[in-house]
Amino acid sequence: LLVKGIIVPFRSPKTAKLYKEIWNENGSPLLYYSRLQARMLQERLGDDYHVELAMRYQSPSIASALANLKAGLVESIQVIPMFPQYASASSGSVIQLVMELVSKWQTVPPISFVNSFHDNELMIKLFAENARKHGVENYDHVLFSFHGLPERQLLKCDHTGSYCLKNADCCQTLNDTNKFCYSAQGHDTARLIATELNLPKEKYTVCFQSRLGKEPWVQPYTTDVLKKLAAEGKKRLLVFSPAFVADCLETLYEITVEYHEEFRALGGEHVQLVESLNDSPVFIEALAGMVK
């Protein structure tokens, strides 16, 4: 069961218009690639497996996908939330809903979950390979821009109550205390991709986009980093968005259009998006490797 989440940034009444701007002949890129990924994984796994795609907040729903699996009399269910980094609002929400729905069944088959796959080797190599297509050496700086998250959600993952956000570099290294921290997993993903590309630490920055409301979100904000880099005279930026496994509004519009225009207005020249995993056979192989 592959579960996707559509994070709709209600930043203005123009959101629906923005979706239309990134749609192509296949409709929504996110839905198109999601369906394609499910179909490709089904072909890769063969008839011994039944692959279902579900969306957390849209159709096809998790309830309908589980109903299909139940009707198919499957022996076991494995749920893969398609969020590389764990967050209670994304992967955790999916896991919770699946458990709530299945708990109502009279007969519950064995169920397992993929908590996160932020350090999946094939995924890391694929992101790096996608970046090489643009010539990493031709850019002044590289950004790893993750979808933002309120700081309060990070704090909930710190069961000690004495580690999270207590110092500026608490997320820089993944350890037993912060191993389920969204920000720490994001930094680890960025570090692994940077290592694959031989990027020195001073060449890249981890940041967070799509902030909503006025409460503190995980920092630094991507918009602030753009201002800082422009002030330093940086002209060309290469931007990853490793929180997504398929291109969507946050990548195709927020980064490719909004951040590009904002950076140019600040004196920069170009913001180049590194494409997501989309329909790459390498990513399908990564998913197949997660299936037990």
Q: Check: CB of residue 220 under 8 Å from CB of residue 205.
A: yes
Q: Check: CB of residue 172 under 8 Å from CB of residue 187.
A: yes
What was the pLDDT predicted at 82?
96
What was the pLDDT predicted at 122?
99
Place of tokens 């919770």: 96
Cis peptide leading into residue 29 (ω within 30°): no
Cα–Cα distance, 285 to 109 (Å, whole number): 26
pLDDT tens digits in sequence order for the chain, 292 residues long: 877 654 433 444 455 566 567 777 787 889 999 999 999 999 999 999 999 999 988 889 999 999 999 999 999 999 999 999 999 999 999 999 999 999 999 999 999 999 999 999 999 999 999 999 999 999 999 999 999 999 888 877 777 877 887 787 888 889 888 899 999 999 999 999 999 999 999 999 999 998 888 899 999 999 999 999 999 999 999 999 999 999 999 999 999 999 999 999 999 999 999 999 999 999 999 999 999 7
Cα–Cα distance, 15 to 227 (Å, whole number): 24
Place of tokens 């490709």: 40
φ, ψ for residue 61 (rounded to 5)?
-80, 165
What was the pLDDT predicted at 77?
96
Cα–Cα distance, 19 to 164 (Å, whole number): 35
Amino acid residing at 91: S
Q: For residue 255, what are the contacts with CB-CB under 8 A and spacing of at least 6?
A: 145, 209, 239, 241, 271, 273
Q: What is the CATH number of domain 121-273?
A: 3.40.50.1400
SS3 readout for the chain = CEEECCCCCCCCCCHHHHHHHHCECCECHHHHHHHHHHHHHHHHHCCCCCCCEEECCCCCEHHHHHHHHHHCCCCCEEEEECCCCCCCCCHHHHHHHHHHHHCCCCCCCCEEECCCCCCCHHHHHHHHHHHHCCCHHHCCEEEEEEECCEHHHHHHCCCCCCCCCCCCCCCCCCCCCCCCCHHHHHHHHHHHHHHHCCCCHHHEEEEEECCCCCCCECCCEHHHHHHHHHHCCCCEEEEECCCCCCCCHHHHHHHHHHHHHHHHHCCCCEEEECCCCCCCHHHHHHHHHHCC
13-51 burial, b at 16+ Cβ within 10 Å, e below that, comes to eeeeebbeebeeeeebbbbbbbbbbbebbbeeeeeeeeb
Residue of 159, 155, 189, 183 lying closest to 171 (CA atoms): 183
Q: Where are the domains of the chain?
A: 2-117+280-290, 121-273
φ, ψ for residue 22 (rounded to 5)?
-100, -5
What was the pLDDT predicted at 15?
53
Domain covering 2-117+280-290: architecture: 3-Layer(aba) Sandwich (3.40)
Residue of 143, 138, 139 lying closest to 190 (CA atoms): 143
